[in-house]
A and B are shown apart, each in its own frame.
Chain A
């Protein structure tokens, strides 16, 4: 190609028409301004070095957790804007605010972002922030891999979000079924973005799974047997196992689709004898465990929040553990309920219908155990506890509609209708999102050393809860009126209008809830009540025995555990009775030097190299892809030869820090 012809080609490839719509340009401008301000602020305050030393190269699980949290909230914003755009479009029949091209992109990015780039990092934020503290560990098992996970996720999310600026966004739905993803039906690079970014973040997720599996199994404080572990640690354990077995099928399915598109293989491509049905199986073999990957951590959070704010031990701890494991195992055996209507036959459908219903049993056990944890307690309705109170009825209804969907012949009628949309939001928002927000309010003081304002937090909660029901209640009814999902607009005459208007109004209430939440965080950063005791809620588990925020090494002395709710027990017994430092009875002679992982820049570079590799793959620009690949190898080689992985903290330094936090008699 000659040079002059190359330039328009390049421009057209990078900026096809679907990247210059007003909404896209508006978003570009906003992002540009935001980035510009960030650069200006960092330069003005000479913060570049701080950014690099304290954040980009950190291997401290607490800081990695904070970065996950920031990313998750940013992605919640992007996914929420997508949702509002869809809802505005659906408020009226034939009154499009965005056209079908854009709507199809928006519902796709909404689904992908909410699941992979909002829910997942939010979960990892909580795991990172508290799991090592809860089990009495100084860090995760593999601190550097932990940083690798984060940066793979972060750069994958950046790549995915680049799509609507450069090259065009995907528009095949988060499920990305072939043959719709075949080049013939779907030219352009959008779908490549989806495939490549999920492949990259999938590597990170798998590593996180390994990391927390090993952390929970191997890093617990002496005396903390498995059956003395907090439920949230159990949740991390089960989630990690789910990740380890659920992500490989997804990786295979995405990789095969990518090869079909880039290398013209025919795994799923029909015209060469490929088999779309194979993809559907692989996808849901991942997809159903995935819904429990995002649900179990929420269960874990509730199992911590309820006992704390009821001032009472968790009811039925053993059955809680068993039921969570049962859910984990069962969730691998139900995937075909996502395609009862693909002609598998009565025997297969009956089997998967029943296996799905079985999940209701352990779930029911958990719900009753939570309620009976409150029974006979003294319930304090903090924001975190309010989320539990919103969760229990909402999630019960979501589970009930799930039972309805597992009733095979009923599913024939409501599959892929708005009833389905209502169902999965019911469980994802009522379960996962409420759980994550409860966890955020609960552990915020531990993470940052101050509380989030309770009044604002409660306001946000009520907006979310009420907004949720206004949004999704009518969608159940729309399902009964036969409205299929993923329609960008609809004709009048089916009676769909009014319910859609209500639903849209509800979405704005939830949007308001999000704004209050953000305001809550920003306000509390300045005015939030400091948490001097380290134990603001009168907690039960080990993280509350530490100052808030915990020092880099977490525990000056690793505690010895002799029962469930170890911190609660320490507070009850012995002469050190009382809250905060007193119960710990830390003495200077207990403190010894500590070995800690040393910061390193290679995870960041590894992520960046994967970004370049991914970008090259998306556009089939092999030179760029090879450059990226070279970068990946370089980063890995560096990691291989970098033996200087630890640093030491001297005992007197630790004593000084502990004394300055009032944890040691001076």
Chain B
């Protein structure tokens, strides 16, 4: 199974109890019914990569557990309302001074504790698991810069760049290094997996992988000003050979992005898509990479990384912003 390959900590069927499987099945069925007709447009329910899949599994687990709780509370409330409604001739017991029961109170202390435990354990496991790029394959690195209001993507290994569209090889993990040369946005391709902020002055990592070729869409999810709604981009996933031929083609026939052109790109406004066979060296913060990859794990490149990430390191933690 695919998910076994990339992460040990997954809560795949092999790791789950049968109760959990039934629960998840019920939720899948319910959501499936809901989604029938235009189901594909429920992009979160149709991930095409391992990250999206494992996030979906957690959603189903949390959703299932919560559905049980909701049902339980609603049924209990309904019974109380019907049985104890103030009506003539009501025969249910009336006990105005009954106000305590150790046993009952312990029960509904324990129920939430159990539910929390059921959700929390896999949550923690997955949170750690997803923070690592799968070790088996060297990821493709893509440097992402959000601008007002467009996306600028650089492929350092191929030294090509694109605006508002991505081309990715299928089946290969992609490490996105995210920053912003404008207000904050989030980089989000729902069908591949969750989002991460792009923040000026910081570089944040996010890895995703597409297991099927096709064209997907992405958008920023964090409001960034006037034309925020224009921050769509497309993600075209092609075969490995298709990807290298796209790189070759681009290098051969597309113009390079000049420093002046990058400055124009940075200005407030929107543009369509574009592809470049090169980009100026200063357009992504090289020296300030906050992390490197060792054995697939993000490792702080400078000391005090963790504090910087929590925004507590003062000016020592920022990169000079007014870069060209």
* A residues lining the B interface (CB < 8 Å): 100-101, 104, 173, 177, 179-180, 185-186, 270-271, 273-278, 280-281, 310-317, 319, 339, 341-346, 348-350, 353-354, 357-358, 360-361, 363-365, 367-369, 371-381, 389, 392-393, 396-397, 400-401, 403-404, 406-417, 477, 479-482, 484-491, 494-495
Contact = CB atoms under 8 A, between A and B. Distances in A.
Contact of B70 (A312, A358, A396, A485): A396
Nearest to B76: A371
Contact of B229 (A100, A271, A413): A100
Interface stretch (B36-44, B135-143, B251-259): B36-44
Q: 9 shortest A-B CB distances, which residue pairs?
A: A412-B194, A277-B311, A495-B41, A364-B112, A343-B204, A400-B66, A368-B108, A482-B190, A486-B223
B85 A271 contact: no
Contact of A365 (B58, B105, B120): B105
B120 A273 contact: no
Contacts of A495: 38, 41
Contacts of A277: 199, 202, 309-311
Contact of A407 (B62, B84, B148, B310): B62
Contacts of B298: 345
A610 to B, nearest CB: 30
A415 B123 CA distance: 16
Nearest to A181: B183
28 contacts: A177-B183, A177-B222, A179-B183, A274-B315, A275-B315, A275-B318, A276-B311, A278-B312, A316-B100, A345-B306, A346-B131, A350-B127, A353-B124, A357-B120, A361-B112, A368-B73, A372-B101, A376-B93, A376-B96, A379-B80, A389-B77, A404-B59, A406-B123, A409-B130, A412-B193, A414-B44, A415-B221, A487-B229
A148 to B, nearest CB: 35
B123 A409 contact: yes
Given A275-B311, A313-B99, A372-B104, 20 more contacts: A100-B229, A177-B184, A273-B321, A276-B201, A281-B310, A312-B95, A345-B298, A346-B127, A357-B123, A361-B116, A365-B108, A376-B84, A396-B70, A409-B127, A412-B196, A413-B190, A416-B221, A482-B43, A482-B44, A485-B223
Given A410-B62, A495-B41, A392 B73 contact: yes
Q: Which of B83, B86, B205: most chain A Cβ within 10 A? A: B86
Interface in B38-86: 38, 41-45, 52, 54-56, 58-59, 61-63, 65-67, 69-70, 73-74, 76-77, 80-81, 83-86
B111 interface: yes
Contacts of A274: 315, 318
A143 to B, nearest CB: 35
A346 to B, nearest CB: 4
Task: Describe A's contact surface by its main secondary structure.
Answer: helix
Contacts of B112: 360-361, 363-365
A377 B92 CA distance: 9
Contacts of B101: 316, 372
B272 interface: no
Nearest to B132: A346
B13 interface: no
B116 A360 contact: yes
Nearest to A401: B66
Nearest to A270: B321
B318 A273 contact: yes
Nearest to A179: B183
